[in-house]
Amino acid sequence: MLAGRMMDFPLTLTHLLDRARTFYGRSEIVSRRPDRSLHRSTYADFYRRACQLAHALKRLGVQPGDRVASLCWNHHQHLELYFAVPAMGAVLHTLNLRLAPKDLGYIAHHAGDRILVVDRTLLPLLEKFVKDVPSIEHVIVIPDDGPAPEGTLDYEQCLASEPTAFDFPTLEERSAAMLCYTSGTTGNPKGVLFSHRSIVLHTLVSCMGEVIGPTAQDVMLPVVPMFHAAAWGLPFDALITGAKLVFPGPHLDAVSLLDLMAQERVTLAGGVPTIWLGILALLDQEPKRWDLRTIRAMLIGGSAAPASLIDGFMKRHGLHVTHAWGMTELNPVGTLARLKPHHADLDDAARLDIRASQGYPIPFVEQRHVSDTGQVLPWDGKTMGELEVRGPWVARSYYSDEGADRFTQDGWFKTGDVVTIDAEGYLRITDRSKDVIKSGGEWISSVALENALMAHPAVLEAAVFAARHPKWDERPLAAVVLKPGQRATAEELAAYLQQHFVKWWLPEDYLFVPQIPRTSTGKFLKMKLREEFGDHLMKTASP
């Protein structure tokens, strides 16, 4: 074979950092502080501070490959960590502040974190687990509205006396840049070690017009936490294009977010369905309060976006929601639901059905779905099977090599998601394999049922899960949260669902609950529902 003769230029984050300084020094970064005031800076400030941070960490003894952990909300200091740590050859480990202290202790210990940077407001959480992590040598506190306590270092003081330029090393593109743990919706959290190369390639593809496609004209609001799957890569997408960044800090309620969107003239925002459900409900109540005309795209992912949500934003407020699917193991974006030109011929309902699907793979992600016995299934839009993916930003193993059974002999990653794939490649997640409802040997999609329930005008949220059944083994049960002041009976909901599903798919019963239990990343925690209500039908159903 004839070898190509192009340069082997390393794909590292150092280039993004350099670019930010060289070309986008005047791009803005806005962060909301805990006291709600706004901190304003530029990419030029960010570059200087990232250099100062690298010096400070070096002074504390951080070596290439060392893990530096962050326990922070989304703000400009977290962005500094996102770049300074990997560019100096170390690894940023983002800790999920919504996890229980016991899990945080397990993860930080497992990762062998040496330094931990924490928001001052999160110190009470840190105190609950830090003593269980002997590898942590220094705690650096981002002072927020008060000084760092004794025994810790003050982030601002660490940076203050350091030089504003740093001689970043030339790194190997396959070296580790970030360590993120899956939130453990199913099983123990596992570490995923992103490389510089995987982040850079993911960023390049994310910046295509067909994918997320930001430009220097955009104002990006990552609502999705920077401690969750690298905030879907949005901070990297901003840095490479020079887009203005707006960080919400700890204020994620609908009013705060809408205020921020309107004030900062946000064009692109990304968050999980729970966030958007809250925002839609508020916009429905006060449609004129915020001027959101600058918004051109709202990314939604992390769990299934109900079609009624996508439709509600579009029809009632003229706002476009783009549905995406991803996983920590994918750096994290895998598929995205964009329409193709010929879909213009379809009616509204069919177009909405496509936009509410999880979409088709973004370039360089490949997909297939397989049966229980490992047989590759047809793309017919109806056969359900487990989704497997491969590509340059898909993990090939976990940190510390647990979970080897998730990687196939022939080089695919088993996602644990049960899906159908249609002839055009559009994916529809019907369940997570652990949440699947098997009634009389047949699969029922809990996701399809709950999405339909959430379209009912009285329903705020609904989760459908498997309950044990004396005859059918398992039957679907629905946990429903009604909108404030609204009423609906089980019979009404059953009649409503009957329009869309065959009879044997319909939930056996409806439980009206004040809230649905959630995981640390806002997904329905069906395990908890099964624990609590799993035997509900054993008592009530007649065999």
User: Which residues are marked as active site?
Assistant: 182, 329, 438, 443
Stretch 410-429: interaction string toward ligand ADP, x if CB under 6 A? -----xxx-----------x
Q: Does 182 bind ligand ADP (CB under 6 A)?
A: yes
CB 42 within 8 A of CB 238: no
Q: Which is nearer to ligand ADP, 406 or 483 (CB)?
A: 406
> Using the rule CB under 6 A, is 358 a contact of ligand ADP?
yes
* Residue 451 near ligand ADP by CB under 6 A: no
Token pair listed for 333:
């974006």
Per CB under 6 A, the list member of 75, 120, 197, 432 interacting with ligand ADP is 432
229 scored as a contact of ligand ADP (CB under 6 A): yes
Contacts of 378 (CB under 8 A, 6+ apart): none
Is residue 460 a contact partner of residue 488, using CB atoms and an 8 Å limit? no
Q: Peptide bond preceding 169: is omega within 30 degrees of 0, i.e. cis?
A: no
Our finding on whether 321 is near ligand ADP (CB under 6 A) is no
Please say which residue, 203 or 358, places its beta carbon nearer to ligand ADP: 358
Query: Looking only at Cα atoms, what is the longest distance across the chain?
Result: 75
Q: Which residue stretch of 29-37, 99-107, 324-332, 533-541 sits at the interface with ligand ADP (rule: CB under 6 A)?
A: 324-332
Structural contact between residues 96 and 122, judged by C-beta atoms closer than 8 angstroms? no
Q: Which stretch binds ligand ADP (CB under 6 A): 156-164, 231-239, 325-333, 418-426?
A: 325-333
The bridge status of strand 176-181 relative to strand 191-195 is antiparallel
In 3D, which of 472, 477, 473, 475 has the Cα closest to residue 462? 477
CB 495 within 8 A of CB 483: no
Contact flag: residue 354 with ligand ADP (CB under 6 A): no
Asked if residue 403 binds ligand ADP (CB under 6 A), the reply is: no
For residues 228 and 37, give the distance between their C-alpha atoms in angstroms, rounded to a whole number. 24
Closest of 333, 340, 334 to residue 355, by C-alpha:
340
Query: Which residue lies nearer to ligand ADP by CB, 258 or 327?
Result: 327
Asked if 185 touches ligand ADP (CB under 6 A), the answer is yes
Interaction between residue 517 and ligand ADP (CB under 6 A) = no
CB of 273 to ligand ADP, least distance (A): 8
Assess contact for 279 and 257: CB atoms under 8 A: yes
Task: Tell whether residue 430 is a contact of ligand ADP (CB under 6 A).
Answer: no
Structure tokens, 508? 């056996």
Q: State which residue, 69 or 192, has the beta carbon closest to ligand ADP.
A: 192
Binding-site member from 27, 175, 439, 521 for ligand ADP (CB under 6 A): 521
Torsion-angle region of 83 (φ positive above 0: left; ψ -120 to 50: alpha; else: beta): alpha
Strand ranges for 213-261 from DSSP E: 219-222, 244-247
Rounded Cα distance between 264 and 29, Å, is 11
Smaller CB distance to ligand ADP: residue 191 or 248? 191
Of 2-31, binders to ligand ADP (CB under 6 A) are none
Are the C-beta atoms of residues 20 and 48 closer than 8 Å to each other?
no
Judged by CB under 6 A, which stretch of 178-186, 215-223, 275-283, 369-377 contacts ligand ADP?
A: 178-186
Q: What is each CA distance from 499 to 433, 493, 496, in whole angstroms?
A: 27, 10, 6
Stretch that binds ligand ADP, among 4-12, 282-290, 322-330, 371-379 (CB under 6 A): 322-330
Q: Which is nearer to ligand ADP, 20 or 272 (CB)?
A: 272
Interface with ligand ADP, residue 275, by CB under 6 A = no
Nearer to ligand ADP, 450 or 508 (CB): 450
Q: What is the C-alpha separation between 307 and 455, in angstroms, rounded?
A: 8
- 518 forms beta bridges with 524
Q: For the CB of residue 192, give the shortest distance to ligand ADP in the complex, in Å.
A: 8
CB of 497 to ligand ADP, least distance (A): 20
* The one among 112, 225, 270, 301 contacting ligand ADP by CB under 6 A: 301
Residue 400 CB neighbours (<10 A): 12
CA 12 and chain centroid, separation: 23
What are the backbone angles phi and psi of residue 192, rounded to the nearest 5°?
-120, 125
331 binds ligand ADP (CB under 6 A): no
Query: Rule CB under 6 A: is residue 520 a binding residue for ligand ADP?
Result: no
Strand duo 437-439 + 442-444: pairing: antiparallel
Stretch touching ligand ADP by CB under 6 A, among 25-33, 154-162, 182-190, 308-316: 182-190
For ligand ADP, which residue of 112, 225, 242, 326 counts as binding (CB under 6 A)? 326
3-state SS class at 274: helix
**Near ligand ADP by CB under 6 A, which window of 64-72, 82-90, 95-103, 318-326?**
318-326
The contact set with ligand ADP (CB under 6 A) reads 182-185, 229, 301-304, 323-328, 358, 415-417, 429, 432, 521, 523
